Amino acid sequence: MPPVDAMDGPRFALRCRVVTMDARDTVLDDGILYVDRGLVDHVLPAGAPPPPGYEQIVPVETAGTAYPGLIELHNHLPYDILRLWPVPRRFENRAQWGGSSNPDYRRLVTGPMDILGEDPETMPAIVRYAEVKALVNGTTTSEPLSS
């Protein structure tokens, strides 16, 4: 799929739970994000009529939650392909969950990524998948960090 050109991109709509982050903390349990040229154009309840120019567009059912315009400031994008790690206990700081004190973290998180990350054929597909997953969930910008 070619990249979306912000100046010439398609109009589309996403149906999902929408956390608007407005002054009233509005959450639409069944809402529609209308997007034009890469920008959120309208956010409406699913039962509302579509805005002008979107009458023929069928919203994509995402079954997810979107935070329109969310910027993710810290992520190791390739790790987003793994299942969520079942955190075994509360940790007081990030230095405690890895290493010998928690062998499951190595087995379930860093070990699989060490294997997948070494394959130059696989890594581009992993990153594309993680980026699409983030976009579908409302992240419009991410600051990827090396693993």
Tell me what pLDDT residue 83 has. Answer: 86
- Contact indicator for 43, 34 with CB cutoff of 8 Å: yes
Length of the chain: 147
Q: Report the alpha-carbon distance of residue 36 to residue 10 in Å, rounded.
A: 6
How far are the Cα atoms of 13, 27, 50, 52, 79 from residue 41, in angstroms, in the given order? 10, 17, 11, 11, 31
Q: Give the whole-number percent of the chain exceeding pLDDT 90.
A: 27
Tell me what pLDDT residue 147 has. Answer: 47
Tell me what pLDDT residue 100 has. Answer: 76
CATH 2.30.40.10 in the chain: give the residue spans.
Answer: 12-68
- Contact indicator for 30, 15 with CB cutoff of 8 Å: yes
pTM: 0.50
Tell me what pLDDT residue 51 has. Answer: 97
pLDDT lower than 70: segments of the chain: 1-7, 70, 138, 140, 143-147
What residues contact residue 50 under an 8 Å CB cut-off, 6+ apart? 13, 32, 34, 44, 57
Strand partners, 32: 15, 44
Token pair for residue 116?
């997948």
Tell me what pLDDT residue 130 has. Answer: 84
**84 sits in which H/E element:** none
Indicate the CATH number of 12-68 among 1.10.230.10, 3.40.50.150, 2.30.130.10, 2.30.40.10: 2.30.40.10
Tell me what pLDDT residue 1 has. Answer: 42
Tell me what pLDDT residue 118 has. Answer: 84
Q: Report the alpha-carbon distance of residue 21 to residue 140 in Å, rounded.
A: 15
